[in-house]
Amino acid sequence: MNQGELRSSRILSHLEGKTAMYEDRVALGIKGQFGLREFTYKGLGLMSRKIARYLIEDLDIKKGTGVAILSESKPEYGACVFASVLAGGVTVPLDIKLSIYELTSILKDCLPEVIFVSQQFLKTAVELKNLIPEIKHIIIIDENTQNKDYPDIYTLPDKYNAKWRQRSSKSTALIIYTSGTTGAPKGVEISFRNMNAQLEDLTDPINAILPNNERITLLSILPMNHLFEMTVGFSTFLNFGHTVYYTTSLKPKDITGIMKEKHVQFMIVVPAFLKLLKAGIEKEIKSAPKSTQVAFKMMYNAAKYIPSYRIRKMMFKKIHDNMGGQFFGCISGGAPLDLDVADFFERIGIMVYQGYGLSETSPVVSVNTDKRNEMASVGRPLRHFEAKINEENGELLLRGPSVMKGYHNQPELTAEVIDKDGWLHTGDIAKIDKDGHIFITGRIKNMIVLQGGKKVFPEEVEALLEKSEYVSEVCVLGTYRSFGSKDGTEEVTAVVVPKNTLYETKSDEEVENLIKADVKNLSERLAHYKRPTNVIISKQELPKTTTRKVKRNDVKELIGAK
Confidence (pLDDT) at 2: 39
Confidence (pLDDT) at 314: 97
Give 445-480 as a DSSP string. Answer: TT-EE-TTS-EE-HHHHHHHHTT-TTEEEEEEEEEE
| 551 class by beta-carbon count within 10 Å (0-12 exposed, 13-18 middle, 19+ buried) | middle
For 418, the 3-state DSSP assignment is strand
pTM reported for the whole predicted model: 0.85
pLDDT, tens digit, 9 for 90 and up, residues 393-410: 899 999 999 999 999 999
- pLDDT greater than 90 at residue 129: yes
- pLDDT greater than 50 at residue 279: yes
Whether the Cβ atoms of residue 323 and residue 260 lie closer than 8 Å to each other: yes
- pLDDT greater than 60 at residue 181: no
pLDDT confidence of 10, banded at 50, 70, 90?
A: low
pLDDT, tens digit, 9 for 90 and up, residues 440-468: 988 888 878 787 667 788 888 998 999 89
- pLDDT greater than 60 at residue 5: no
Mean of pLDDT values over 311-329 = 96
CA distance 230 to 216: 18
Mean of pLDDT values over 504-517 = 94
Whether the Cβ atoms of residue 550 and residue 458 lie closer than 8 Å to each other: no
Confidence (pLDDT) at 527: 82
Confidence (pLDDT) at 272: 83
Whether the Cβ atoms of residue 220 and residue 446 lie closer than 8 Å to each other: no
Confidence (pLDDT) at 33: 72
Q: Which residues pair with 188 in a beta bridge?
A: 176, 407
Confidence (pLDDT) at 536: 95
Whether the Cβ atoms of residue 472 and residue 454 lie closer than 8 Å to each other: no
98 φ, ψ (degrees, to nearest 5): -75, 155
Of 209-218, 257-266, 483-492, highest mean pLDDT: 257-266
Range of weakest confidence among 50-54, 363-367, 384-388, 528-532: 528-532
Confidence (pLDDT) at 449: 77
Q: Give the chain's domains with CATH numbers.
A: 3-18+40-191 (3.40.50.980), 252-262+272-443 (3.40.50.12780), 448-559 (3.30.300.30)
pLDDT confidence of 266, banded at 50, 70, 90?
A: very high
pLDDT confidence of 179, banded at 50, 70, 90?
A: low
Rounded mean pLDDT of the chain?
A: 91
pLDDT confidence of 4, banded at 50, 70, 90?
A: very low
- pLDDT greater than 70 at residue 562: no
